[in-house]
Chains A and B, each alone.
Chain A
């Protein structure tokens, strides 16, 4: 970690004085890979600011610009920790802002501005520390110049440059610093010098979020801003044929009704008027040539496909060659439903179109994609579209849409209305409005030898691709395989460790819009794989933890997490009467998470009492943040495992709000204990990897309790 960063070679750096005074430090890393074909990182070098990561004010304030969005995962605190350590900053002087949409802020690995894939901390670990180190070097030079002494004798501490008994605050140095040449080299600190990194650190956004002052997209208000609600097609893929708005326009507060590509938008003075206006619309939809999907029919179609060869995603050996050694074969079918993200904050987006551009206020996980989409609609250049990222009232993937759906729609509404508008989705709009975790059917046929070890593993997945048809298709679908459909299976250590294996995929086409949902493909594959392993252990008459240890013996990070969770959960020791354990371990987004769930089943109702989590994410920059994300993942995944499901009947989504799209509530929250593996391995993510092992750990405990194998989620009333 003691990297000597040669900026002249690796990075483009510049320091510029802000109009408002103060020091701005900005640089871009040219090696950022061109990822989704949307942005070219090389362009970042030639485009003008705003591209600052860090701003020091004359008042000593240190403003950290977040290239990513805060949606609960805690980067509002973690990224400033990276800067504070290198800068020797006074933590109490740190302020944080979301950066604008600009090429300078593109993801260091993905090349677009995105908050996703549990990647923020590892992808910014170098860039934000470099920003801090560079700024510190400039401040030292500035102090040396003011004092007319060599830099070598100076040190920094808690927001000051110190020379013996003299000291100057960073704020006192910014004017001089902004006139200096940027240093060519800086040395990053070694872990033993860190004061913030690795220490549990309280959130910087806490105070504003408990007194009502934090601004979410929903809270954007300004003079002249109107509220819009869009009546969207009840059957996906269909379009508005005609509408009668005569009754809607009579509702007090309704200003006008306009047609947009997604339907009809009611523009009103406030939400209540817009909602009533929308209810008064008479709408005729053109459904010709469109399917009316029905979950029961889809399931039959998926099940039939799962028994046919698909596109090959992985292969080794020959699954037909194992006849003689074969002892037994397990054939199992698993079914996972469509799921809605259902973030607490319903979608919304405020748009103001001006003479020479457009301003957008929203909570988004994908600024540059939204910016490009808005620019295209309005015939503008991307830099003419300003995006003001607000706090996100939950994201979970829903606000990272390659199709920029809710932003594009809001821009269309503002354009058609000729007014600044904020589109607001109702909860019903959110639940019925699409972009679901796709439904999946998995069918596995696994042959074991006499010792219970898998000899052959045939696995077929059926589900919609979340990438097909999006701008990311060219980069993310290879040889007909959307990697996000088969992740967790095609790359599973269990499958790869089986000499003869074959993974096939059927990517089903449909008008149902699908999207990544917290942990993406692992949200279904983690459940299937860790349930299957439990099934195999049972078939082989082996203890499930020991069975996993044997199969994962060459996977030390899986094992470390598994052993820590088992140890902390006292695996194998007696439990209170009626309580049973289940275990699971899964790798996703570069982290390894094992969970032990303690469960009882009473009159068909599953109660999860306690979940012990162990994670190896490499360095845990903010251990308290890691703990919070594990707690969060357990809650998010448990709600889905127990009761969440989006289904279709006669082409329409059945569910509409939290009474029938059920999520976890306080009464069902288990006690969650989190243990972090001490690790110096490569850093992984923490926002998502806690999700995949939860459902199988619970389902495996249900099997231990009842002997019933859960092969379909949600568990719902299957045990009744």
Chain B
């Protein structure tokens, strides 16, 4: 199966029903995207499919054929992604860090759709991403900071 991952056409020997998460982690070897729950409950596996944030743990690879998959590994080449990552570092958001790839992918998607989100907008967009270290307060601040920088 041919998949476009981070701008590269990649041939992967996978079955149609394999979730994108396992194709990119176990087969393509891109481990920045994390497995957290396997049922779209935690957001750790968030990637972009044609720019939209999706939960890769429940989205089969067949749904990605002909589309562009973007993972955390490519965020440094993305203007919004760069701003989000810079804010994350400035605010020192991370603790254990395991959920942060997914948080950054969700935050980047939010800022593309809503360049100036309110706290309520952030809560609505980010409540699907669990962080057990509880970095939520800093994520809020970092999203606002990234938004300001992009404005």
Instruction: Name A's B-contacting residues (CB within 8 A).
Output: 70-74, 202-203, 205-216, 218-219, 221, 227, 252, 269-272, 342-346, 391-396, 424, 426-428, 624, 628, 631-636, 657-659, 663-667, 669, 671-672
Contact = CB atoms under 8 A, between A and B. Distances in A.
A227 B139 contact: no
B73 A211 contact: yes
B94 interface: yes
Contacts of A215: 31
Contact of B95 (A74, A428, A663): A74
B114 interface: no
B19 A210 contact: no
A43 B33 CA distance: 42
A658 B35 contact: no
Contacts, number: 182
Contacts of A426: 38
Nearest to A635: B134
Interface string B110-137: 0000000000001110111111111111
B42 A344 contact: yes
Nearest to B87: A210
A344 B41 contact: no
B27 interface: yes
A207 B89 contact: yes
Contact of A344 (B15, B36, B92, B128): B36
Contacts of A633: 134
Nearest to A427: B37
Contacts of B51: none
A211 to B, nearest CB: 6
Considering the complex of A and B, which 10 residue pairs feature the smallest CB-CB distances, nearest first? Answer: A212-B32, A635-B134, A393-B98, A209-B97, A72-B96, A72-B95, A669-B136, A212-B72, A270-B26, A219-B31
Most buried by B among A207, A343, A426, A669: A669
A343 B96 contact: yes
B53 interface: no
Looking at B15, B89, B92, the one whose CB has the most chain A CB atoms below 10 A away is: B92
Contacts of B71: 212
Contacts of A394: 96, 98, 132-133
B85 interface: yes
A666 B127 contact: yes
Contacts of A635: 131, 133-136
B18 A427 contact: no
Contact of A210 (B85, B96, B131, B136): B85
Contacts of B123: 666-667
A265 B17 CA distance: 23
B44 interface: yes
A209 B128 CA distance: 20
A202 B104 CA distance: 19
A117 B38 CA distance: 31
B76 interface: yes
B41 A221 contact: no
6 contacts: A211-B73, A343-B98, A392-B96, A393-B96, A393-B99, A663-B132
B133 A202 contact: no
A216 B127 CA distance: 24
Contacts of B93: 206, 210
A391 B39 CA distance: 24
What's the dominant secondary structure at chain B's contact region?
loop
Contact of A270 (B27, B30, B92, B127): B27
Interface of B: 15, 18-19, 22, 25-27, 29-39, 41-42, 44, 71-73, 75-76, 85, 88-89, 92-101, 104, 122-124, 126-140
B98 A657 contact: no
Interface centre among A208, A658, A663 (most CB of B within 10 A): A658
Contact of B134 (A269, A271, A631): A631
A205 B130 contact: no
Given A71-B96, A664-B136, 13 more contacts: A73-B95, A202-B92, A208-B97, A210-B88, A211-B85, A219-B31, A271-B25, A345-B98, A428-B38, A624-B92, A635-B134, A636-B133, A665-B130
Contacts of A344: 34, 36, 42, 44, 96, 98-99, 130-133
Contact of B36 (A212, A424, A427): A427
Contacts of A663: 130, 132
A631 B131 CA distance: 12
Among B22, B42, B133, B136, the one with the most A-chain Cβ atoms within 10 Å of its Cβ is B133
B27 to A, nearest CB: 7
Listed residue (B22, B97, B137, B139) with the most chain A CB atoms within 10 angstroms of its CB: B97
Contacts of B27: 270
B63 to A, nearest CB: 15
Contact of B96 (A272, A342, A345): A345
Nearest to A70: B96
A680 to B, nearest CB: 26
B84 to A, nearest CB: 8
A633 B37 CA distance: 22
A547 to B, nearest CB: 30
A210 B139 contact: no
Contacts of B30: 212
B126 A396 contact: no
B36 A72 contact: no
Given A206-B89, A391-B96, A342 B132 contact: yes
A646 B15 CA distance: 36
Nearest to B37: A427
A271 B22 contact: yes
Contacts of B138: 628, 631
Nearest to B136: A669
Nearest to B139: A666
Nearest to B23: A272
A597 to B, nearest CB: 15
A212 B130 contact: no
Contacts of A392: 96
Contacts of B96: 70-72, 343-345, 391-395
Contacts of A665: 127-128, 130, 136
Contact of B41 (A72, A211, A657): A657
A206 B134 contact: no
Given A227-B26, A271-B26, A632 B139 contact: no
